[in-house]
Amino acid sequence: MNLNQLYYFEKLAELEHYTKAAEQLSISQPSLSHAISSLEDELGIFLFEKQGRNVRLTKHGRIYLSYVKNALNELKLGKNQIKKLTSISEGHIDLAYISSIGAYFIPNLMSSFLKNKQYKNIRFLCNEGSTTKLITGLKKEKYDLVFCSHVHNEPHIEFVPICEQKLVVIVPKNHPLANNDYISLKDTLPYNLVYYTKESGLRSIVDDLFTSIGANPKISSEVEEDNSIAGLVAANMGIAVVTDNPTIRNFDLKILPLTSLPYKRYVYLAFVKNRYLPPAAQEFKNYTINTFSHKHFHKSDILF
């Protein structure tokens, strides 16, 4: 049994005439007769019976037709859906990103992209997570594109730097350090720190910061994302080194710039090398890279 046989069967059932059906199907009448006979042999029943110059469905043929119509309709719906999903103008994009850029950067980037009339019907399916989880999802084809920290030893993934985030220290407003306008990393050493988990792309960055001053932080708890860290700090559970992003300003705490940072923290657009991307995702990838590739990033550019 093949798909053509089902189409032939449906058309013959509609027209009840071999010659007319063959003409509409653009095949010869013997080819149509052979296809129907082969289908009947496989099913072990007669689908049609003669009625003068025409044919009509048998009882079993009518039963089978209902299933064939449903099957062909589902295939048509599936084909149409795939066309939409792979269309530049109507496709969808499986996008994921770290939480620190989820409140402002990502919505503004998506909004800017969708202002192009060609893309206005594209749909985004968005997820947040740690860099480790995002890279795992990317490799498993759960996501088309992700925004995350750079990860070493991932030779099959391309990381394109998109934006820069500064690191700051956040403390409760009643904390001794809250009297300062800025501090050095060494000033944090006497205090308990709420720290990023090992799944976070920022863990290694903050680790390297403390290593660069020859110190080990006093870690009191580990949390995956910035909002939870800020919540714990606001509840007097410690202080923290976090990215300077707008969401931490929703908490009752003091934000202190760090002096003499040795390097910058970048957010990257990541995708699997040489993997097919749906047209909509490819367009969004190109748009993002073209928008940010020639810019020098500062906090005011990317977060507000």
215-266 pLDDT, tens per residue? 999 999 999 888 999 999 999 999 999 988 888 999 999 999 988 765 568 8
Q: Residue 57: CA atoms inside 13 Å, Cβ hemisphere, count?
A: 15
| Total Cβ atoms within 10 A of residue 82 | 12
* Domain match, 66 and 108 both: no
pLDDT at 195: 96
pLDDT at 246: 87
* Domain match, 158 and 175 both: no
* Domain match, 247 and 292 both: no
* Domain match, 143 and 117 both: yes
pLDDT tens profile 94-148: 999 998 899 889 999 999 999 998 898 899 999 999 999 999 999 999 999 999 9
pLDDT at 196: 94
* Domain match, 281 and 142 both: yes
- Its domain, for residue 46, covers 3-85
Distance CA(271)–CA(286), nearest Å, equals: 12
Strands 92-97, 240-243: pairing is unpaired
* Domain match, 32 and 150 both: no
* Domain match, 7 and 32 both: yes
Residue 189 has pLDDT above 50, yes or no: yes
* Domain match, 172 and 249 both: yes
Show which of 85, 119, 145 is a domain's final residue. Answer: 85
* Domain match, 7 and 78 both: yes
In sequence order, what DSSP letters do the residues of 30-81 get, joined into one string?
A: HHHHHHHHHHHHHHTS--EEEETTEEEE-HHHHHHHHHHHHHHHHHHHHHHH
pLDDT tens profile 160-181: 999 888 899 999 999 999 999 9
* Domain match, 184 and 145 both: no
* Domain match, 283 and 159 both: yes
Residue 89 has pLDDT above 90, yes or no: no
Residue 208 lies in a domain: yes
CATH label of the domain that carries residue 29: 1.10.10.10
Residue 296 has pLDDT above 70, yes or no: no
**pTM value surpassing 0.75:** no
The proportion of the chain whose per-residue pLDDT surpasses 90, expressed as a percent, equals 73
Q: Cβ contacts of residue 46 below 8 Å, gap of 6+?
A: 40, 58, 60, 61
- Structurally, the chain folds into a number of domains equal to 3
pLDDT at 263: 55
Distance CA(263)–CA(209), nearest Å, equals: 9
Residue 262 lies in a domain: no
Residue 293 has pLDDT above 90, yes or no: no
pLDDT tens profile 15-29: 999 999 999 999 999
CATH label of the domain that carries residue 151: 3.40.190.10
pLDDT at 287: 96
